Amino acid sequence: MLNYEKVKEAAGYIKSKCENIPDIAVVLGSGLGFLADKAKDSYIIDYKDIPNFPISTVPGHEGKLVIGDLWGKRVVMMKGRFHFYEGYEAWKVIFPVYVFKELGVKRLILTNSSGGINMDYKPGDIVLIKDVINLAFRSPLRGPNDDKLGVRFPDMSRPFDREWMEKVKEKLKEEGREIAEGVYIWSLGPSYETPAEIRAFKKLGADMVGMSTVPEVIAAAHAGLKVLGFSCITNMAAGILEEPLKHEDVIRVANMVKDKFAHFVKVALEVV
């Protein structure tokens, strides 16, 4: 069960290993862990060594916490996240968000690889997440609430920080770049969605689909963190194209857009 004492123990261990505490956290999704390798003066901690921390089991998620300097900002990065489909209890999926808060983090950048539903997207596009749909119908906050972690009923009317998003868009526009915004829908997984499900998701207003991120968005609202979300479109969702879906393709496309993705995160750090 999620409680403040477990969070405090994990954060205390991290603080004992690293003197300079970060103020921005970045969760790196499938195939996007390379960004942590760009950090300078970094300290790496294996998830397995952190008290109460889960261990990532998915290919493309290395299971390491990296604290270092990234483009002039002190950040903590997760090389791999946790998913409900791995069999973890709800509190373990969102546990790192509260550890970040205990470390003093004020802002959280969430990234993921997703399937494109919006026909204006193509594999390799990076999209700002403007809202989410919790199609898994699972709340990671279910159960007793620890008031030290957040309020019982967190507001989800603005899950992503609009001011931060606008600053990113303005900076990219100055550079002659554009970035789309979209709604991300959370499907529980681990099976990919059927074409009929994708047609239904489109009618619900979803632009992209994936198996993560929403639990962390909810936890961040609960914890009072400002959130920015980037979704890398690594494939078109089932039924959009006549191609089978494979996790290997997700990793491959994520690798292809490394430079573009890194630049967008750099901009997100520069504008705050």
Which pLDDT band, with edges at 50, 70 and 90, does 244 fall under?
A: low
pLDDT of residue 113: 87
- Asked if pLDDT for residue 198 goes beyond 60, the answer is yes
Give the fold, CATH level 3, of 4-270.
Rossmann fold (3.40.50)
Q: What is the 3-state secondary structure (H, E, C) of 134-203?
A: ECCCCCCCCCCCCCCCCCCCCCCCCCCCHHHHHHHHHHHHHCCCCCEEEEEEECCCCCCCCHHHHHHHHH
Mean pLDDT of the chain: 90
Weakest-pLDDT range from 73-87, 92-106, 152-166, 253-267: 253-267
Residue percentage of the chain with pLDDT more than 90: 67
- Asked if pLDDT for residue 243 goes beyond 80, the answer is no
Weakest-pLDDT range from 23-32, 143-152, 154-163: 23-32
**Can you tell me the mean pLDDT for 60-75?**
86
- Asked if pLDDT for residue 25 goes beyond 90, the answer is yes
Phi (first) and psi of residue 122, to 5 degrees: -145, 155
* CB-based contacts of 179, cutoff 8 Å, min separation 6: 126, 127, 128, 168, 169, 172, 264
pTM for this prediction: 0.93
Q: Where are the domains of the chain?
A: 4-270
pLDDT of residue 241: 56
Q: DSSP letters of 28-68?
A: E-TT-GGGGGG-EEEEEEEGGGSTT-----STT---EEEEE
Reported as a single tens digit per residue, the pLDDT across 28-65 is 876 777 888 889 989 999 999 999 998 877 665 578 99
Virtual torsion, Cα 87, 89, 90, 95, nearest 10 deg: -110
Identify the top-confidence range among 1-5, 78-82, 161-165, 236-240.
161-165
Reported as a single tens digit per residue, the pLDDT across 176-192 is 999 999 999 999 989 98
